[in-house]
């Protein structure tokens, strides 16, 4: 009888050892795990062993998730598509007026693209940003020309990046 009791206790002890909380690696892949639980599990293990592998993978996961969770720490995989849909529904301030509802773009020149021995297409603009509240102010950027700003709807421009190193 005594050996049976010892065997049962040994069996229960081994079950308890295997019934530990999941590791942070397991929690990272559990869609129902709370962000804060995974984070706490990682930092507890990291405090015991700062040389453990997986730090970079965890930090990437943490950075990607921390801005996409609700107040309880649950990750919503549809967050990105929801944010994109909200963004697509926004109308820039400068195009809200009837006058600019369908802007007409026209080339102001130069008509010939400058070409030199090391680069083709010097002077092209490849990005624009509009001021959120002032419809006359916007910015343009080009690979070789830097960043420029207008405050009079494009009639004059001021370089912003001439002294950047």
Sort strands 127-130 and 138-142 into parallel, antiparallel or unpaired: antiparallel
DSSP string, 26-67: HHHT-TTS-HHHHHHHHHHHHHH-TT-TTHHHHHHHHHHHHT
pLDDT of residue 123: 62
Higher pLDDT, 163 or 120: 163
Average pLDDT, the chain: 77
35, burial (CB in 10 Å: exposed 0-12, middle 13-18, buried 19+):
buried
For residue 138, the enclosing domain spans 123-165
- Alpha carbon of 8 to those of 1, 5, 23, 39, 134: distances in Å? 11, 5, 27, 36, 77
Indicate if 82 and 129 belong to the same structural domain.
no
Q: Has residue 67 been placed in a domain?
A: yes
Summarised one tens digit per residue, pLDDT across range 3-59 is 666 656 665 565 555 557 788 889 988 888 999 999 999 999 999 998 989 989 999
Structure tokens at 32: 């129902």
Using 50, 70 and 90 to split pLDDT, how confident is the model at 99?
low
Higher pLDDT, 103 or 129: 129
Q: Has residue 28 been placed in a domain?
A: yes
Summarised one tens digit per residue, pLDDT across range 80-91 is 777 777 777 765
Indicate if 131 and 84 belong to the same structural domain.
no
Indicate if 82 and 127 belong to the same structural domain.
no
Q: Does this model's pTM top 0.75? A: no
Structure tokens at 112: 């010939």
pLDDT of residue 95: 47
Q: What's the domain count of the chain?
A: 2
Q: Domain ends where: 70, 89, 108? A: 89
Max distance between CA atoms of the chain, in angstroms, equals: 100
pLDDT of residue 158: 92
Summarised one tens digit per residue, pLDDT across range 110-150 is 666 656 555 555 567 888 888 888 888 999 988 777 899 99
Q: Has residue 116 been placed in a domain?
A: no
Q: Has residue 99 been placed in a domain?
A: no
Q: Has residue 15 been placed in a domain?
A: no
């Amino acid at each position: 009888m005594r050996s049976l009791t010892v065997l049962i206790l040994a069996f229960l002890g081994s079950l308890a050892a295997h019934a530990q909380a999941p590791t942070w690696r397991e929690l990272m892949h559990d869609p129902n795990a709370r962000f804060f639980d995974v984070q706490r599990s990682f930092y507890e293990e990291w405090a015991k062993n700062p040389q453990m592998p997986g730090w970079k993978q965890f930090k990437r996961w943490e950075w990607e998730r921390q801005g996409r969770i609700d107040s309880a720490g649950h990750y919503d995989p549809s967050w990105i598509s929801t944010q994109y849909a909200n963004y697509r529904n926004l109308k820039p301030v400068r195009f809200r007026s009837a006058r600019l509802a369908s802007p007409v773009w026209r080339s102001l020149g130069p008509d010939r693209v400058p070409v030199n021995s090391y680069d083709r297409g010097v002077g092209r603009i490849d990005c624009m940003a509009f001021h959120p509240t002032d419809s006359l102010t916007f910015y343009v950027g080009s690979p070789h020309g830097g960043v420029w700003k207008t405050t009079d709807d494009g009639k004059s421009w001021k370089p912003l990046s001439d002294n950047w190193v």
